[in-house]
Amino acid sequence: MAERSPVLVARSEWLSAMQDLALACAEGADEETAPLVREMNDLLLVTPDAGWLTGLQPIGPARLTVLLEAGAPDSAVITMLARGSGYLLSRNGDGHSLASVALPGSGRENSAAGANPALALMGALALSLTSAAATSRFASARTSTGAVAVLH
């Protein structure tokens, strides 16, 4: 497993980058897949809240390079989900993919489409992370007022 970077990224900057990545994955073409996989992994390595990585596993740079050079971006993204995140992947006859990702403890899943399985999975993951970040921020605000924050 790759170690988190000591570089601090502002929460809002990270969330904005993750939202941009979700959009890029939805609109991306096959040739854009490898750079977007690298960007997702880089963002996971600088996550401003380590709790957001629950169920996720950033990949070390050397291993990521090997996977991408072998033409296995799907395997790279699935490896990032290997610590307990759930996912569902579907592909239509034209090759376009739809993916859903459920992070541990999130209580819901997020779905996204993409030109290939890796883009669809990353789009769903990016949406899940931004959703989880918003939920944790809301839960933190609620618990600071004394109300109990419970997900069902």
Give the model confidence (pLDDT) of 8-55 as tens digits: 578 889 999 999 999 999 999 999 999 999 999 999 999 988 888 899
- Does the residue 2 lie in any domain? no
- Does the residue 40 lie in any domain? yes
Number of domains making up the chain:
1
- Does the residue 150 lie in any domain? no
- Does the residue 51 lie in any domain? yes
Q: Which pTM value belongs to this model?
A: 0.84
Full residue range of the structural domain in which residue 81 is found = 11-144
- Does the residue 149 lie in any domain? no
Q: Are 119 and 76 in contact (CB under 8 A)?
A: no
Rounded mean pLDDT, 125-135 = 86
